Protein backbone atom coordinates (compact mmCIF):
# COMPACT_ATOMS: atom_id res chain seq x y z
CA UNK A 1 0.00 0.00 0.00
CA UNK A 2 1.31 3.45 -0.91
CA UNK A 3 1.92 5.82 1.98
CA UNK A 4 -0.30 8.87 1.92
CA UNK A 5 1.27 12.27 1.43
CA UNK A 6 0.13 14.50 4.30
CA UNK A 7 0.17 18.30 4.30
CA UNK A 8 0.18 19.82 7.77
CA UNK A 9 -1.57 23.13 8.37
CA UNK A 10 -1.45 25.39 11.38
CA UNK A 11 -4.69 27.37 11.51
CA UNK A 12 -3.47 30.81 12.56
CA UNK A 13 -5.90 33.30 11.07
CA UNK A 14 -7.92 34.01 14.20
CA UNK A 15 -8.31 37.41 15.78
CA UNK A 16 -7.21 36.27 19.27
CA UNK A 17 -9.93 38.40 20.89
CA UNK A 18 -9.97 36.44 24.16
CA UNK A 19 -6.18 36.42 24.26
CA UNK A 20 -5.92 40.20 23.90
CA UNK A 21 -3.00 40.19 21.44
CA UNK A 22 -1.73 38.04 18.59
CA UNK A 23 -1.73 34.56 20.16
CA UNK A 24 0.38 33.08 17.35
CA UNK A 25 3.29 35.32 18.36
CA UNK A 26 2.98 34.70 22.11
CA UNK A 27 6.11 33.05 23.46
CA UNK A 28 6.52 29.95 25.52
CA UNK A 29 10.04 29.01 26.48
CA UNK A 30 11.51 31.54 24.06
CA UNK A 31 9.59 30.27 20.99
CA UNK A 32 6.31 31.49 19.57
CA UNK A 33 3.23 29.29 19.75
CA UNK A 34 3.18 29.34 15.94
CA UNK A 35 6.75 28.05 15.69
CA UNK A 36 5.98 25.34 18.25
CA UNK A 37 2.86 24.23 16.33
CA UNK A 38 4.81 24.13 13.05
CA UNK A 39 7.49 21.99 14.70
CA UNK A 40 4.84 19.57 15.96
CA UNK A 41 3.54 19.11 12.41
CA UNK A 42 6.97 18.94 10.76
CA UNK A 43 7.67 15.74 12.68
CA UNK A 44 4.59 14.06 11.19
CA UNK A 45 3.89 15.59 7.77
CA UNK A 46 5.55 15.71 4.37
CA UNK A 47 5.22 19.52 4.26
CA UNK A 48 3.66 22.25 6.40
CA UNK A 49 1.89 25.54 5.76
CA UNK A 50 0.27 28.26 7.82
CA UNK A 51 -3.31 29.33 7.07
CA UNK A 52 -4.42 32.88 7.65
CA UNK A 53 -1.02 34.60 7.73
CA UNK A 54 2.46 34.60 6.31
CA UNK A 55 5.43 33.03 8.06
CA UNK A 56 9.12 33.27 7.29
CA UNK A 57 9.85 29.52 7.48
CA UNK A 58 7.05 28.09 5.34
CA UNK A 59 4.27 28.88 2.87
CA UNK A 60 1.27 30.83 4.03
CA UNK A 61 -2.19 30.59 2.48
CA UNK A 62 -5.05 33.04 2.78
CA UNK A 63 -8.34 31.79 4.18
CA UNK A 64 -10.69 30.64 1.43
CA UNK A 65 -13.02 31.88 0.08
CA UNK A 66 -12.41 35.03 2.16
CA UNK A 67 -10.81 36.14 5.44
CA UNK A 68 -12.51 35.95 8.84
CA UNK A 69 -14.31 32.66 8.21
CA UNK A 70 -12.82 30.96 11.22
CA UNK A 71 -10.98 27.66 11.11
CA UNK A 72 -12.99 26.39 8.14
CA UNK A 73 -11.65 29.18 5.93
CA UNK A 74 -8.10 28.11 6.74
CA UNK A 75 -8.88 24.42 6.35
CA UNK A 76 -10.53 25.08 2.99
CA UNK A 77 -7.45 26.95 1.77
CA UNK A 78 -5.23 24.10 2.96
CA UNK A 79 -7.35 21.44 1.23
CA UNK A 80 -7.17 23.30 -2.08
CA UNK A 81 -3.43 23.95 -1.64
CA UNK A 82 -2.90 20.24 -0.91
CA UNK A 83 -4.92 19.07 -3.92
CA UNK A 84 -3.00 21.37 -6.26
CA UNK A 85 0.29 19.91 -5.03
CA UNK A 86 -0.55 16.21 -5.03
CA UNK A 87 -1.14 15.61 -1.32
CA UNK A 88 -3.70 13.04 -0.21
CA UNK A 89 -4.80 14.58 3.08
CA UNK A 90 -4.43 17.57 5.39
CA UNK A 91 -3.60 17.35 9.09
CA UNK A 92 -4.95 20.47 10.79
CA UNK A 93 -4.11 21.90 14.21
CA UNK A 94 -4.77 25.27 15.83
CA UNK A 95 -1.89 27.64 16.52
CA UNK A 96 -1.82 26.79 20.23
CA UNK A 97 -1.66 23.00 19.77
CA UNK A 98 2.10 22.67 20.17
CA UNK A 99 1.80 19.48 22.22
CA UNK A 100 -0.22 17.18 19.97
CA UNK A 101 0.54 13.44 20.21
CA UNK A 102 3.65 12.48 18.20
CA UNK A 103 1.59 9.88 16.34
CA UNK A 104 -1.38 12.15 15.60
CA UNK A 105 -1.68 11.00 11.98
CA UNK A 106 -1.93 7.39 13.14
CA UNK A 107 -4.46 8.27 15.85
CA UNK A 108 -6.68 10.01 13.30
CA UNK A 109 -6.22 7.56 10.40
CA UNK A 110 -8.02 6.80 8.25
CA UNK A 111 -9.29 10.20 7.15
CA UNK A 112 -11.68 11.85 7.66
CA UNK A 113 -11.43 12.07 11.43
CA UNK A 114 -11.21 14.77 14.09
CA UNK A 115 -10.45 15.08 17.79
CA UNK A 116 -13.59 14.82 19.90
CA UNK A 117 -12.62 17.59 22.32
CA UNK A 118 -10.94 19.81 19.71
CA UNK A 119 -12.53 19.37 16.26
CA UNK A 120 -10.05 21.82 14.71
CA UNK A 121 -7.53 18.98 15.08
CA UNK A 122 -8.28 16.65 12.22
CA UNK A 123 -7.15 14.57 9.29
CA UNK A 124 -9.09 15.52 6.18
CA UNK A 125 -8.92 13.93 2.69
CA UNK A 126 -8.38 16.41 -0.14
CA UNK A 127 -11.63 15.12 -1.64
CA UNK A 128 -13.41 16.99 1.19
CA UNK A 129 -12.72 20.35 -0.46
CA UNK A 130 -15.85 20.25 -2.66
CA UNK A 131 -18.22 19.54 0.26
CA UNK A 132 -16.47 22.27 2.26
CA UNK A 133 -16.79 24.75 -0.61
CA UNK A 134 -20.53 23.98 -0.69
CA UNK A 135 -20.93 24.31 3.08
CA UNK A 136 -19.14 27.67 3.16
CA UNK A 137 -21.30 28.94 0.30
CA UNK A 138 -24.58 28.07 2.01
CA UNK A 139 -23.95 28.20 5.77
CA UNK A 140 -22.98 31.33 7.68
CA UNK A 141 -22.20 29.53 10.96
CA UNK A 142 -18.99 27.93 9.71
CA UNK A 143 -19.12 25.03 12.14
CA UNK A 144 -16.34 22.43 12.03
CA UNK A 145 -18.71 19.85 13.50
CA UNK A 146 -21.25 20.57 10.72
CA UNK A 147 -18.51 20.02 8.15
CA UNK A 148 -17.40 16.82 9.88
CA UNK A 149 -20.98 15.53 9.85
CA UNK A 150 -21.38 16.41 6.18
CA UNK A 151 -18.40 14.26 5.19
CA UNK A 152 -19.08 11.52 7.78
CA UNK A 153 -15.82 12.16 9.65
CA UNK A 154 -15.14 9.99 12.67
CA UNK A 155 -14.93 11.58 16.09
CA UNK A 156 -11.78 10.30 17.82
CA UNK A 157 -10.60 10.52 21.42
CA UNK A 158 -6.89 11.36 21.36
CA UNK A 159 -4.45 9.57 23.64
CA UNK A 160 -3.58 12.96 25.14
CA UNK A 161 -5.61 16.14 24.97
CA UNK A 162 -3.48 19.08 23.72
CA UNK A 163 -3.34 22.30 25.72
CA UNK A 164 -5.89 24.95 24.77
CA UNK A 165 -4.61 28.50 25.22
CA UNK A 166 -7.32 31.12 24.85
CA UNK A 167 -6.23 33.77 27.37
CA UNK A 168 -3.06 35.18 28.87
CA UNK A 169 -3.99 33.34 32.07
CA UNK A 170 -4.05 30.04 30.11
CA UNK A 171 -0.57 30.79 28.77
CA UNK A 172 0.69 31.64 32.28
CA UNK A 173 -0.74 28.35 33.58
CA UNK A 174 1.09 26.42 30.86
CA UNK A 175 4.32 28.25 31.70
CA UNK A 176 3.84 27.36 35.37
CA UNK A 177 3.20 23.67 34.72
CA UNK A 178 5.91 23.22 32.09
CA UNK A 179 8.50 25.55 33.62
CA UNK A 180 8.59 27.50 30.36
CA UNK A 181 9.55 24.39 28.36
**Number of domains observed in the structure of the chain:** 1
In a domain, 78, yes or no: yes
In a domain, 122, yes or no: yes
In a domain, 139, yes or no: yes
Domain residue limits at 20: 6-178
Task: Give the tens place of pLDDT for each residue, 136-158.
Answer: 998 677 789 999 999 999 999 99
Other C-beta atoms closer than 10 Å to the C-beta of 155 total: 14
In a domain, 83, yes or no: yes
Q: Is there a contact between 163 and 174 (Cβ–Cβ < 8 Å)? A: yes
Helix (H) or strand (E) holding 94, with range, is strand 89-94
At what angle are helices 129-138 and 71-84 packed, to 10 degrees?
150
In this prediction, residue 167 carries a pLDDT of: 75
Write the CATH number for 109.
3.90.550.10
Q: Is there a contact between 5 and 87 (Cβ–Cβ < 8 Å)? A: yes
For the chain, the average pLDDT equals 88
In a domain, 1, yes or no: no
In a domain, 171, yes or no: yes
Other C-beta atoms closer than 10 Å to the C-beta of 165 total: 24
Average pLDDT over residues 69-90: 95
82: closest CA among 72, 94, 92?
92
- Residue 15 CB-density burial (10 A; 0-12 exposed, 13-18 middle, 19+ buried): exposed
In a domain, 87, yes or no: yes
Residue 14 has pLDDT above 80, yes or no: no
**Residue bearing the bigger pLDDT, 27 or 102:** 102
In this prediction, residue 57 carries a pLDDT of: 82
Amino acid sequence: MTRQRILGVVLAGGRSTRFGSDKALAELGGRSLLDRALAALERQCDAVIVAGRDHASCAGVADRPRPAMGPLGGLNAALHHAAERGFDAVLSIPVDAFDVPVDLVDELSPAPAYAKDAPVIGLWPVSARAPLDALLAEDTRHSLRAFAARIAARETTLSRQPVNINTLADLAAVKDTTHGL
